[in-house]
Amino acid sequence: MQQVDIADIMTRQREFFAAGKPRQLAFRIQQLKKLKSAVKEMESELLEALRKDLRKPALEAYAGEIGFVYEEIDHALAHIHTWAQPRTVPTPLVLMPSSSRVHPQPKGTVLIIGPWNYPFQLVVAPLVAAMTAGNCAVLKPSEMTPETSRALARLVERTFSPEYCALVEGGVEKASALLAQRFDHIFFTGSTQVGRVVLRAAAEHLTPVTLELGGKSPAIVDDDVDIEVVARRIAWGKFYNAGQTCVAPDYLLVPRALKSDLLKALQRQVRAFYGENPRESPDFARIVNHRHFDRLAGLLGEGEIVTGGETDRNDLYIAPTIIGGVTMDAKIMEDEIFGPLLPVLVYDSLDQALALVRQRPDPLACYVFTRRQATEERVIQELPFGGGCINNALLHLSNPDLPFGGIGPSGMGHYHGLYGFATFSHHKAIMRSSMRFDIKLKYPPYGTKLKLLRRLIK
């Protein structure tokens, strides 16, 4: 696929879509089953590619990438007949004799651009949604995870004809060439900075866009909690995939009186997960490349390192690191960390904690740990964020019945399950009227009909 003619692929996909086959429900189901079978056949190859690219532990690679995709496919197959059916909606009395329905229809040819942190899942899960909705697709995986990109290219080439699903490998030049084309929808996962580039390119063709971006996702700890459970769940959510997760807790807000005990509990959990020397643990991933390593290493100069802080550039290793004594104006608090560094800030009241979160752009995720329903409700109602968990981290994105997406600078649009089907569908509104009788109210001459119309509308 390296030498693909992008314009030719676009022409072939448009012709294939116009011929109608992708819209057929039987075809969609067949292709979803083919995709699942292909992934199963290449499972070992994909796990090895993820290990080479990110030193991703096999369990994390399976749970967060391959198994995640299986769940999306199974969920889509279980519900596709219901989702694809026209939906009857109420019709106002004044519009009678008529009935109203919403017909979900595929948009056409869509572009899916994936990131490097979950380089398989964040390309294939959107593809599942696009296929379920009946679209053709062009995929562009990240060039920063070359082994996974090549494995994906082999999977797509073996499984699908290019007029239905094609994959384009390469860097910025290929991405720019793709964005210059007129797609019917663009789905992008990545940084806010690149998201702006995608949105500007899409504007040239008035192409609808889904942006799954990021941001500084807070974890707010109340003073009424089980400290050991909180520490275990935060440490897991933060250091999963070496912190390279868009919904990882980016910083921790903890009551001043609880700080010392919670920091000690976090230290214990890091040791329990990864041993005395996490570098030797088979369960701790590596940083994706030297550029990101250098960026993260440059954030270690502020605050007080509670645990971790060790680095090895040759091994792309940064230890799971907890940093105390951090303030909101520290460099580490400027942008999303996207690595295994957890700054801990203190607060004296919930009002202060909420105010601190509001100082930053709306995050993709937010986590609150509390036994108090009032605290839970205040966080949900008063803070804008994409989604999150109460007393846990990361897990909300694994439920296919929940929408996943950001707000403002952390993204626009949703997917997973029904929400992904809806994203890649056009919802066509149809009203059908009977010809058996015809109410004359809407026709001239109007005379005194205004009074009757007002009465009907009331």
Q: Which residues are known catalytic residues?
A: 212, 246
Alpha helix segments (H runs only) across 117-220? 121-133, 146-159, 172-179, 192-205
Q: How is the beta sheet containing 109-113 ordered, strand by strand?
A: 165-167, 136-140, 109-113, 185-189, 209-212, 411-412
Q: Is 3 exposed, middle or buried (0-12, 13-18, 19+ CB in 10 A)?
A: exposed
Query: Omega into 445 within 30° of 0, i.e. cis?
Result: yes
Cβ proximity of 210 and 129 under 8 Å: no
C-alpha to C-alpha distances, 394 to 69, 297, 346, 364, nearest whole angstrom: 16, 25, 22, 11
For residue 324, the surrounding DSSP H or E stretch is strand 321-324
Q: Would you give the DSSP letter of residue 223? A: S
How far apart CA 175 and CA 178 sit, in angstroms, is 5
How far apart CA 125 and CA 415 sit, in angstroms, is 9
**Residue 20 φ/ψ, nearest 5 degrees:** 100, -10
For the chain, what's the residue count?
A: 458
C-alpha to C-alpha distances, 95 to 409, 427, 438, nearest whole angstrom: 41, 21, 11
46-316-291 Cα angle (round to 5): 95
- What distance lies between CA 421 and its chain's CA centroid? 14
| Closest listed residue to residue 242, CA positions, set 320, 330, 151, 190 | 320
